[in-house]
Amino acid sequence: MVKPAAEPEVESFLAMLAAQRGAAANTLSAYRRDLAGAAQIIGKLVQAGREDIAKLATAWVELAPSSLARKASALRQFYGFLLDEGLREDDPSSALPRPRARRTLPRLLGHEAVGALFLTAEADGAAGTPEGLRMLALLELLYGSGLRATELVSLPIAAVPRDAPFLTITGKGGVQRMVPVSARSVKALADWLAVRGRGGRFVFPSPKGGHLSRVRLFQLLKDLALRAGLNPETVSPHVLRHAFATHLLEGGADLRVLQTLLGHADIATTQIYTHVDSARLVALVNERHPLGKAANS
């Protein structure tokens, strides 16, 4: 099938997302792909009626619930934009298929597995090689500060302050936040910067210029996991970010504080981590609630 030309209204919608909501380039690309894919099925989106939209249910029947939800969200926002701009008088998005799925829980990495990763990385770092010191710094910032993979590999030198244990992170949508760095992470980062060499604007530069790629970061973590005796499929930058959040909650961190540290725009995104602390919460009720005390007496 010949790919249809992008509709002017779609480009206007994407421009609005970029200008008013600060949508990141990856987000805009995903919206463009989803809208173009829908247009290939039902024709011009701006002219589509409820009957056309309903056809998507059949075309998308094999999609994973998360993919279906994402595509439906893109169209729903697009038609909302058309209404706001007076380009349509009706909203056909109510005919979109609705996924029946709960949000998946993050894959968990326990304290013992994290300890095995650090034991291996610290042994590499103790050898004083640039590769070993870099890996230890990467691991410290992934697990110790909860950075996203993209935030970590694209971290500029300017984001590392000289006199404060914080990093200035530019997250999704270009939103900046301050992320605390532990004393051990500060040392690992300083050790790496001492052997990194001069030149370049990124903390983790690539030999070919620019910064370390996300793909290379994944590869380095998989290799570390293998050498630590773990299944490489269970370890990734995102899993370590989940471990950071999970273990902070286990230690008693406030959900709002965690939202700030992770750079979540919506507290609902952070609340997915509350399931991991269920055992501690039950124990807390049993130990501290008056009825719990009466039952245990």
pLDDT of residue 24: 80
44 is catalytic: no
Instruction: Give the gyration radius of the chain's Cα atoms.
Output: 23
Q: What is the pLDDT of residue 40?
A: 93
Strand-pairing partners, residue 202, are 156
Active-site residue 198, yes or no?
no
Alpha-helical (H) ranges within 85-213 are 111-126, 130-145, 149-153, 183-196
Q: Is 241 a catalytic residue?
A: yes
Residue 75 in domain: yes
pLDDT at residue 17, as a whole number: 87
Q: What is the pLDDT of residue 42?
A: 93
Please tell me whether residues 16 and 61 are part of one structural domain: yes
pLDDT along the chain (297 residues), means of 10: 65 88 82 93 92 91 84 90 89 84 62 92 90 94 85 86 73 73 86 86 87 92 92 89 79 67 62 57 64 57
**Nearest in space to 147 (alpha carbons), one of 120, 122, 180:** 180
Same domain, yes or no: 124 and 88: no
Task: Decide which of 186, 214, 238 is a domain's last residue.
Answer: 238
In a domain, 15, yes or no: yes
Q: Is 148 a catalytic residue?
A: yes
Tell me, yes or no, if 79 is annotated catalytic: no
Same domain assignment for residues 190 and 122:
yes
* Same domain for 121 and 83: no
Shared domain check, 215 and 164 = yes
**pLDDT value for 22:** 76
Q: Is 273 a catalytic residue?
A: yes
**Residue 245 domain-assigned?**
no
User: Per the residue annotation, which of 172, 177, 187, 227 is the catalytic one?
Assistant: 172
Q: How many domains does the chain have?
A: 2
Give 73-88 pLDDT, tens digit per residue.
889 999 989 988 888 8
Domain span holding position 89? 8-95
Q: Tokens for 202?
A: 């990124």
How many angstroms separate the CA atoms of 233 and 222, rounded? 7
pLDDT for 124: 86
Catalytic residue, candidates 71, 148, 211, 247:
148
